[in-house]
Amino acid sequence: MAVTIKEVAALAGVSPSTVSRTCKNNPSISEETKEKVRQAMQQLGYEPGPSAAASPAVSPGLVQKTIGIILPPSQKETYENSFYLEAIRGISQFCNPRQVISTVITGKDEEELFQVIQTMVQNGQVDGFILLYVKNQDPILEYLYNEGLLYVLIGKAYQYVNQTIYIDNDNLLAGQEATEYLLGLGHKKIAYLGSESSLMFSADRKAGYQLALTRHQIALRPEYCLELTSVPKGNSERIKELLESPERPTAMVVSDDIFAVALEQVCLRAGLSIPEDLSIISFNNSLLARITSPQLTSIDVNSYQLGIEAASQLMNHIENPNLLATKIIVPHRLVERESCRTVD
């Protein structure tokens, strides 16, 4: 069986990304560390693959860093979500004055996205990656980890936790606080609408919603939890069925402003008024939350700051490759508007 980059890293006492950058003769790695890695490679008989080939020599004064910003694969909806745009703005805000190149990587599906990333790695075009999402069983993440490449997650790590740098909100707490807000307004019949649970932020927000109801001794109703693979259309049957049921909810926690605006459209077609018939609280505090009518009460997750912190940590680990993996939690805040009301 071929020796892996992780085995070399373990023997040398460094991270897999340090081994990868030693193979490329990266100037950010000290000569002492490079020698330790090379000895481990020789001892184990490790042969670097194409992605670990040495980069052409560059004058130290002219070395320019490049980071890849990975968006989730999507035909369309990813590019309409202001969370990603704000995070990219934060990354650029950090990188531009430091003359660090940031390039957005995307694709219509996982296969196309994987091919683009693999090509960039094999051509030595990137020093590290920022993933703007965390998904369960993600082949992109598996590839980055197994190749010993440097990456930062925006979102909580669920795999390789001790070896992964991540920047996140406390989404479980945010989901709990959103639900507690509705409970404080007197609501008991509270539903949840969100993305599929394979997206970790949505899974955590749903868990926070369930935790708040349990703490208030309110029974969890399976029919009150709607998880959709895409943004619901104005005639979404699943939402319409819930809103027309005899035990319809009086309030709903929604995992994203885009979903909340779509929910408003379903309510409009069903003849329901917001907040008179249904109170809505959502997440991201995007432009959509401010321009819809009524304006949405929303949890601001500070996506711009998430981008800045992700870029800062990535550059810090590029320049100091033996640092331990960092975990940073960015605070959130609730912004009250007109989409929620008190009930008797």
Second CATH level (architecture) for the domain 171-300? 3-Layer(aba) Sandwich (3.40)
The mean-pLDDT minimum among 54-58, 131-135, 339-343 falls in 54-58
pLDDT (average), residues 259-283: 94
Token pair 């081994």 is found at: 19
**pLDDT category, 141, cuts 50, 70, 90?**
very high
CA distance 219 to 234: 29
81: pLDDT strictly greater than 90: no
More confident residue, 167 or 229: 167
Among residues 80, 19, 259, 297, the alpha carbon closest in space to that of 178 is found at: 297
Among residues 122, 131, 249, the alpha carbon closest in space to that of 192 is found at: 249
User: For all residues of the chain together, what is the average pLDDT?
Assistant: 89
**Which amino acid is residue 190, in one-letter code?**
I
- Which of the following CATH numbers is that of domain 1-63: 1.20.1090.10, 3.30.365.10, 1.10.260.40, 3.40.50.2300? 1.10.260.40
Give the pLDDT confidence of 166-203 residue by residue, as tens digits: 999 999 999 999 999 999 999 999 999 998 888 889 99
pTM of the entire structure?
Answer: 0.82
The string of DSSP letters for 208-236 reads: HHHHHHHHTT----GGGEEEESSPPPTT-
122: pLDDT strictly greater than 70: yes
Kindly list the domain boundaries of the chain, sorted by start residue. 1-63, 171-300
More confident residue, 29 or 58: 29
CA distance 59 to 52: 20
**pLDDT category, 50, cuts 50, 70, 90?**
low
Q: At 153, which helix (H) or strand (E)?
A: strand 151-154
CA distance 55 to 64: 13
- Percent of the chain at pLDDT > 90 equals 60
Q: Is 205 exposed, middle or buried (0-12, 13-18, 19+ CB in 10 A)?
A: buried
pLDDT at 147: 84
With beta carbons less than 8 A apart as the criterion, state whether 281 and 178 touch.
yes
With beta carbons less than 8 A apart as the criterion, state whether 167 and 153 touch.
yes
Give the pLDDT confidence of 82-98 residue by residue, as tens digits: 899 999 999 999 999 99
